[in-house]
Every structure is written in structure tokens, then in C-alpha cells.
Amino acid sequence: MWKCKQCNEEIENTFDVCWNCGTSKEGTASKNIDEFKKAKEEIAEEIKHLKRKSIGEILFSFKGRICRSEYWVKAFPILFVYHILVWLIVNTETNLVRRGISILLFSLISLWPSLAVSTKRLHDRNRSGLLLSTLLLPVLGIIFEIRLITFFGIIFCIWLIIEMWFLKGTEGENRYGPDPLNKLEDLNLSINGE
């Protein structure tokens, strides 16, 4: 943090100009006050969007990117609870028809959020959400009794899980949107005119 010599505002070190009055770290006033006011309004608008996405945006929208931390903190717990509920139904329900209907309902309810979250994680890795369709390979291999498709499908599923769960997203903007981790840095560069 640094303190503005003009207005005594505490400023983040990532900013070279006071967001309150436009004075630089060295104490020189902004040359173009109108340009500074416009930049200040843009900062205020960007700060509104700096907050992480809501749970609804993460679970139901296929657009954009989510970083690993958003996945692990917001999306994964919800999907984990779903799997616990399915496990409880399978192990406690004795009526096979009710068990089947319950599992089918939970599966249908969780399909959209699971696909949305996984698609956004793939977008963060600069990959298409269509890669998720390859998760059907093991199922197709089992249905058509083709062991080679089943084997390679399982290998691909493991690779896809590693990619979505553990690997960092592409740095900077990609074809699916801006880097969710670099919004403050991008904002600072645009203010400083770089």
C-alpha cells in the first residue's frame, strides 16, 4: 500500500495512480482530469464485476470460465452432496422401483449443473465443452461389448478429470473469455495506459 500525497488515500501497490484524485505515486497531479474521471468510473464498474460469480452463474451458465478455486469451493461441494444423496438412496431404499426413480430424478436434476461447471472448467483450459461427450466412450464400449473402446474411454476420462480438477487454466484471455484470476492486473494496465 502507498499513501497519496494529495488526498492521503491508501492505495493498493498494483496501482500507479490514486483512484481518488488521480495523483501519481510521485505526487504529480493527473494531466487530464476528464480522462481520469472516466477511468475512475470504469474502475468502479470493473470492481462491481470483480466479485466471483454467484452459485447460480456457476451451476447453470455454460458461458465463460471458472478457475480451480471457484470449482473446488463452490461447485464441487454441491456435486459431492448430490453423490452422497444418491449413495444413501441406493443403500437405504429397498423398493427397486422407487430406488430407480429417485436415482433417475437426482441424475436429471444434476445433469445440467454438472455439464455447466465442467464446461467452464474446460473453457478455462481453452478447450471445448464438447470434450465432455467423450465421457460416453466407456458406456458405449460396454453396451456394444468393445473392450478397446471401453479401455481408451476410461483412460480418456481419467485424463479429463486430471485436466479439469488439477491443472491451471490458460493465462490471460482466451477464446472463452478473460482470465478469472487476472482481472485486477488487467484493470491496472488499462488505467496506466499500457
Which candidate, 71, 56, 23, places its Cα nearest to that of 169? 71
> Worst-scoring range by mean pLDDT, 39-48, 108-117, 138-147?
39-48
pLDDT confidence band for 5 (50 / 70 / 90): confident
**Predicted model pTM:** 0.64
CA 88 to chain centre: 29
* Predicted pLDDT at 174: 93
Distance CA 25, CA 13 (A): 10
Higher pLDDT, 31 or 174: 174
Mean pLDDT in residue range 154-169: 92
**Which region holds residue 51: left if phi is over 0, alpha if psi is between -120 and 50, else beta?**
beta
DSSP state of 169: P
